[in-house]
A and B are shown apart, each in its own frame.
Chain A
Amino acid sequence: MVIRRGPLALITALALGTSAGCRCGSKGSQNNTAAAREGAQPDWEVNPQNYFGTVTVPKGRVLRTSFGPKILSLDPQQTQASWEMPYHVALGLTLVYLDEDAETLLPGFAERWEASDNGTTWTFHLRRGFHWHKFHGEAVYNEADNTMTVNGDGVVTLEEITSADVKYSWGRVLDVQSETPYRPLFRDIFLEGAEEYEAAIQAWTEAADKEKPAAKKKVDELLARIMSESIETPDPFTVVMHLDSPSKIMPEQMWFPVFAVVHRATVEKKYPGAEEGAKDQWTLPENATWSGGYVLAKRTDRVVYLIRVDDSPLWTKEHPGSPAVVGYQSEKCDDMTDMYERGELDALSTACRPPNAMVIEQNGRVRDLTLHPHARLNYMVLNWQRGILRNTQVRQAIAYAMDREDLVKQVLGGLDRVAGTFVPEGFAGFTAGKDYGFTFNLQKARALMEEAKAAMTKAGDYKPGDTLSITIKYRMRQNEVDLAQAFQRYMKEIGITVVLEQMEARAHSKDTNSGNFDAIAASWGSDYMAAMTWWVLALTGNHYNASKWTDSEFDRLAQQAFRTLDEQEALHLDRAAEKILMTRGVHVPLSWGTSVMLVKPYVRGITPNYPDHHFLHDMRIVVE
């Protein structure tokens, strides 16, 4: 069934009613709303100097935003980076959504869901009325008026989405041929058979050529079993998932774009160049069929243009979305900040670290700037298999010699929070009160170095007078250069000579991921609100474990903590795991991140939140 909305759809920006969302944490927004209700002029009109740059409400209501660098793929299931997710969530329908606080669960394709008593069977009851949509025509964005005009049919409604589409989409993610980076998330939610399946894939990847067919056969058999037994669709509007054990990230994690519904016929269609490696052609505006609340109208290398699907059941009075979205993609933070200042961007959530000078300068002086804690860890990895770093005391000495206060102040613009342990404060019960972790203690660091020298002398690895030297590899980014130089300075205090090796990003990534380094600085953001999101950096065999460090006791504690639903027990186990991690000194925590948001006062639906997730279905321009 094809429903067309007229031959010529004209989308011009319209005022979106008076639904006033709360921008919690943003100073002044409440007053603005109250003032507007009373008919008074909003604060930003009366006191524009209290805001960063232009605060004139744009004529049109097209939301102009930027979340960071370029999106690699618009296929929601290929999601990789945090700055891609707002677009993937907008284009792909998932069973549930997160509200702007990134905590409250909202119905998505599923209107309700329930778990069995033992927590291993999840039944999702799907909503009727969700349809596939295509975009036909040409979208023209008028910068001056901030309006989007569509020449052509515009958004075209196709057939209804059913549970069979969900099953197909998840099967596509699980299939190794689809090359989905976040496929292991099915293992992380304990989907029945997914752990065994991942192990089989690993065995197949590592198998010798002659053993590969047999290994692949096992992979295929396990996939077939998962698809027939672990994911069931008893009727067109019910999806049942069977888990190995109860999961603490279910059903919250089902918002993740990797679980989005994709259109089988569009995805599987043979496009030119497929045999040469071309893929994702289905995401091009002229080919794509979308399930989400928006469709892709146009895409250039720097800009993504989305148009709202007005007949989607997703939209409510509280969550009306924006009639259209213009998403700028750039890693040039200064350029984006400049655009915001000029009034060419309505919301900017920057992935830049540290935030640019203009933002730091305005810290605390303007109302539309928010700096908020972010579940992100900046840390160092010390290669426990190389040179003097083989000695645990040397690694611990390094961890104690890092002057984190100075580092945060001098290198990270004074915005981050000092981190002595791995899991950020406030994360799933990890508040204060840890009896372990690193604080800056030069005396202790020097003492540890002396003990290490004695031990190394005894082992014949060190003679008095030898130079103790390590190399830090870092990318050509100013904050990494500054960090490496600071590291060199701190290590000098404990008698370690640090060689600086500046590298191109790809070369750095190659060396990092293959363990070819002495020391590197790294950063990691949480995927979900359980400590396991951090432990993957140190779990044996996990591809995120750059250090290749292995400790069976740590693995056991981390896995057990992830599997238990008892919060106190989980906290106890996670802390025990973290203590081991800190004792070994392979991973040296430095700071916990701060996220920067610049949001015009007339924008609603973007709230500072801990995981730093922002969704286009929440965000909109509001004129009171």
Chain B
Amino acid sequence: MLKYIIGRMFYGLVAVFLAASFVFFLCRKAPGGPFDRDKPLPPDVKAMYEKQFGLDLPMSKQYIRFLRKAVQGDFGPSIIMPEKQVIDIIKERLPITITVGVVSMFGVALVIGILSGIIAALRHNKRLDHLIVGGTMIGIAIPDFTTGTLLIYFFCMEHRVFPRQGWGTLLHMVLPVTVMSLYYITTFTRYTRGGMLEVLREEYIVAARAKGLPMWKVVVRHALWGGLRPLLSYLGIAVPFLFGGSTLLVEQMFNLEGIGEYFITAIRDRDYTMIMGIVVMFSVVLSAFTIVIDISYTLIDPRQRRRST
């Protein structure tokens, strides 16, 4: 098992290195630099700015300099906001992104998705099952930005129940969390339902029922872990997507000062140091999460455990 974990960590580090290197060269090859502005800077000022951030050095030297500092967790100052260190900006903004992401996925989507998935499986082919499955179809079909726009229009513009933008109170969280969790509720429901249906047909479940155990005990004690296996696998994909895609959109939509919103700004402004800081941070977090998911999968599924050992 230890060998397996070390192996997974090694691959995780390789993934982080590759992602960071790829993005480093990609963003420097992209046309336009951080000091190419609408209102041009005097040439000497531009040259000084570039020298200040080492952008006048050959690409290979810049890359080595970046790697040397990155392993120490130092990405230097942001190019666009040079009064702040990249790591400090990440520290300031990450809590909002993490809060919205974690509350949406683990606080709302996972709870509602698992419960509705179990209910749908237990009521297989009954009216309630059809209702839940139909609901999930609608949820999957409507994109986040449509849901978000409709919610903003209805709850912020028309009825002014929730604030339109910003962060700070529970009310500020309601709409962003709703928009982000809706898609995941629907997918989690479908994965849980599918997994549970499969497990509920297993002989050991039939045997447990035959022994006279009440249905809730059968579900909680025997069926649940097996039924959640597909969902667990999906989480390994969903979490990266959550932080790499959904948060960017929702933070933009509700003007949340999270890291996703800043990532888009950093790319647009060619804030190389900020881009690299966020990419490395996301890569590390997501690799770590993937490793945790893989390990928990082996813990839940004895077959996987055997394979990994």
Interface residues of A (CB under 8 A from B): 72-73, 80-81, 176-177, 179-181, 183-184, 201-202, 204-206, 272-273, 276-284, 300-302, 330, 332, 335, 338-339, 342, 503-511, 513, 543-544, 546
Contacts and interface: CB of A to CB of B under 8 A. Distances in A.
B257 A301 contact: yes
Contact of B255 (A276, A277, A332): A332
Contacts of A276: 76-77
Contacts of A543: 40-43
Interface stretch (B16-24, B31-39, B140-148, B192-200): B31-39
17 contacts: A181-B45, A273-B85, A277-B53, A277-B82, A278-B83, A278-B84, A278-B85, A279-B82, A335-B164, A342-B164, A504-B268, A505-B38, A506-B33, A508-B32, A509-B32, A510-B36, A513-B40
A507 B32 contact: yes
B165 A335 contact: yes
A284 B82 CA distance: 11
Interface residues of B, number: 41
Please provide the 6 A-B residue pairs with the shortest distance between their CB atoms, ordered closest to farther.
A506-B32, A278-B77, A507-B31, A507-B32, A280-B83, A510-B36
B309 interface: no
A589 B19 CA distance: 47
Contacts of B300: none
A177 B47 CA distance: 11
Given A278-B82, A506-B268, A510-B32, 19 more contacts: A176-B45, A180-B45, A183-B45, A204-B44, A205-B47, A273-B77, A277-B52, A279-B52, A279-B82, A332-B255, A335-B255, A338-B156, A504-B31, A505-B38, A505-B268, A506-B33, A509-B37, A509-B40, A543-B41
B36 A513 contact: yes
A277 B160 contact: no
B234 to A, nearest CB: 34
B190 interface: no
A176 B84 CA distance: 22
A284 B83 contact: yes
A455 B19 CA distance: 56
Contact of A184 (B42, B77, B164): B42
B253 to A, nearest CB: 10
Contacts of B14: none
Interface of B: 30-34, 36-45, 47-49, 52-54, 76-77, 79-85, 156-157, 160, 164-165, 255, 257, 262, 268-270
B49 A81 contact: no
Nearest to B256: A302
Contacts of A180: 45
A319 B117 CA distance: 65
Contact of A301 (B40, B77, B262): B262
Contacts of A332: 255
A183 B41 CA distance: 10
Contacts of A184: 42
Given A205-B47, A277-B53, A504 B83 contact: no
Nearest to B48: A179
Given A509-B32, A509-B38, A339 B82 contact: no
Nearest to A546: B40
A370 to B, nearest CB: 24
A201 B42 CA distance: 10
A598 B8 CA distance: 58
Given A205-B47, A278-B85, A280-B83, A181 B42 contact: yes
B43 A338 contact: no
Given A302-B257, A335-B255, A543-B40, A506 B77 contact: no
Contact of A205 (B44, B82, B262, B270): B44
B45 A179 contact: yes
Nearest to B49: A179
Contacts of A302: 255, 257
A202 B43 contact: yes
Contacts of B81: 72, 301
Contact of B257 (A272, A300, A503, A505): A300
Contacts of B48: 176-177, 179
A243 B149 CA distance: 58
B164 A330 contact: no
A281 B83 contact: yes
Contacts of B80: 72
A202 B54 contact: no
Contact of B164 (A300, A339, A511): A339
A302 B77 CA distance: 19
B156 to A, nearest CB: 8
A505 B43 CA distance: 19
A282 B84 CA distance: 11
A536 to B, nearest CB: 11
A516 to B, nearest CB: 10
A503 to B, nearest CB: 8
A300 B81 CA distance: 11
Given A202-B44, A278-B76, A280-B82, A506 B255 contact: no
B32 A504 contact: yes
Contact of A273 (B44, B47, B76, B268): B76
Nearest to A330: B255
A513 B35 CA distance: 11
B151 to A, nearest CB: 14
Contacts of A206: 43
